[in-house]
Amino acid sequence: MAKYITKRIIYLIITLFIIASVTFFLMKFLPGTPFSNEERLTIEQREILNAKYGLDQPIPIQYMNYMVNIVKGDLGVSFQFENQPVMDLLMNRIGPSMQLGVQAMIIGTIIGIALGVLAAMFQNTWIDYGSTFLAILGKSIPSFVLAALLQYYIGVKLGWLPVASWNGFSSSILPTIALACFPIATAARFMRTELIEVFGSDYITLAKAKGNSRGEVAVKHAIRNALIPLITVLGPMAVGLMTGSMVVEKVFAVPGIGEQFVKSIMTNDFPIIMGTTLFFAFLLTVIILIIDILYGIIDPRIRLNGGDK
């Protein structure tokens, strides 16, 4: 196990290195400078500014400098937020996105699994159709529509929850619901399909023959096995949720990283683009690693020490 994890961590570092390099060179293809007053700068002034920020050097040298700084743990300072260290900015912004992501993930998977289980147990009844309908709805309504509807009806018309702001738990409820729709739908559909398959297997028939009720069979015997494929999807989805949704953050005025990331690309804020990409990549690779370890715990048939029989 320890050997396996060490090996995976080495892969992780290599992955991050490749991602950093590719992003760096892609970024240099972006048109324009990171200077927000670019339009009014004279050529001489642009040169002075480029020299100040080391942007006048050949790209391979800029690349070397950047890599050396990353290894030292220095991600640089932002351009759009002048002199703001990238690390501070990420730390300020990542909290709200993570909180919303985790909340949406928890609520989404629980409700999704419950819907999926119900649908599978009552296959081809109104419960099944109802839950499938909800799942399709959740997957097909774009989050900006849902967010706008929630804001208007629950925030403005009913006045139950804040319209927008980031001030304590109550302001996180509406964005969480808007974000949770997608995991609900995904989890419900996966769970239903898998459970129906598991219900058809021999050991379930045996369990039923022993006199267990349908509920007991589902909870005791079937769900655990049906969870494995779901976990595969949940990992990347969790990262997607935690790295923030531009749309939901914008509508509910959440100071998250999602909207900020898009803006940094539009404004050529190189250090922020790199910092955020690396952070996301790190999160994704770590979560994939955790999932691989989880497999072993959920399904004893999967062994981690390599390709032994």
Partner 1 sequence: MKKSKYYLIIVLALTMFVISACGSNNDNEGSSDNGDSSASGEQVLNMVETAEIPTGDPALATDAASFIVFGQTMEGLYVLDGEDQPVPAIADGDPEISEDGLVYTFKLKEDAKWSNGDPVTAHDFVYAWQRALNPDTGSQYAYMFSGVIENATDIMNGDAAVEELGAEAVDDYTLEITLEQPVEYLNSLLAFGTYLPLNEDFVEEKGDSFGTNSDNMLANGPFVLTGWDGSGLTWTYEKNEEYYDIDNVSLDKVNVQVAKEPSTAVNLYETGEADRTAALSSEYAKQYANHEDASTFEEGSSWYLKFNQERDGEETPLANENIRKALAMAFDKEAFAEQVLSNGSIPSDGYVPRGLAVNPETGEDFREESGNLISYDVEKAQEYWNKGLEELGVDELSLDYLSDDTENAKRTAEYFKNQLETNLDGLTLNLENVPFKNRLDRTTAQDYDVVMHGWGPDYLDPLTFLDLYVTDGANNQASISNEEYDQLIEDAKVTYANDPEKRWEAMLEAERILVQEDTAIAPIYQRGRLTLIKPYVKGLEEHLFGPDYSLKNVTIEK
Binding residue (CB under 8 A) for partner 1 from 6, 45, 69, 123: 45
The structure tokens listed for 56 are 């006048």
- 267 makes contact with partner 1 (CB under 8 A): yes
Of the residues 8, 15, 16, 95, which one makes contact with partner 1 according to CB under 8 A? 95
Please name every residue paired with 85 in a beta bridge, in sequence order, or none if there are none.
Answer: 77
**Contacts with partner 1 in 138-197 (CB under 8 A)?**
148, 151-152, 155-156, 159, 162-169, 172
How many angstroms separate the CA atoms of 53 and 100, rounded?
A: 35
Nearer to partner 1, 85 or 296 (CB): 85
CB of residue 41 vs partner 1: minimum separation in angstroms?
6
List 21, 36, 125, 140, residue binding partner 1 (CB under 8 A): 36
How near is the Cβ of 227 to partner 1 at its closest, in Å? 15
For every residue of 75-91, DSSP letters joined together read --B-TTTTT-BHHHHHH
Rule CB under 8 A: choose which of 2, 29, 31, 126 binds partner 1. 31
Residue 107 in the binding site for partner 1 (CB under 8 A): yes
Part of the chain binding partner 1 (CB under 8 A), chosen from 37-45, 236-244, 279-287, 288-296: 37-45
| Of residues 275-304, those binding partner 1 (CB under 8 A) | none
Torsions phi, psi for 76 (to 5 deg): 90, -170
- 29 near partner 1, judged by CB under 8 A: no
- Considering CB under 8 A, how many residues would be counted as binding partner 1? 72
Task: Report, in Å, the least distance between residue 307 CB and partner 1.
Answer: 37
* 57 is a site residue for partner 1 (CB under 8 A): no
CB of 232 to partner 1, least distance (A): 22
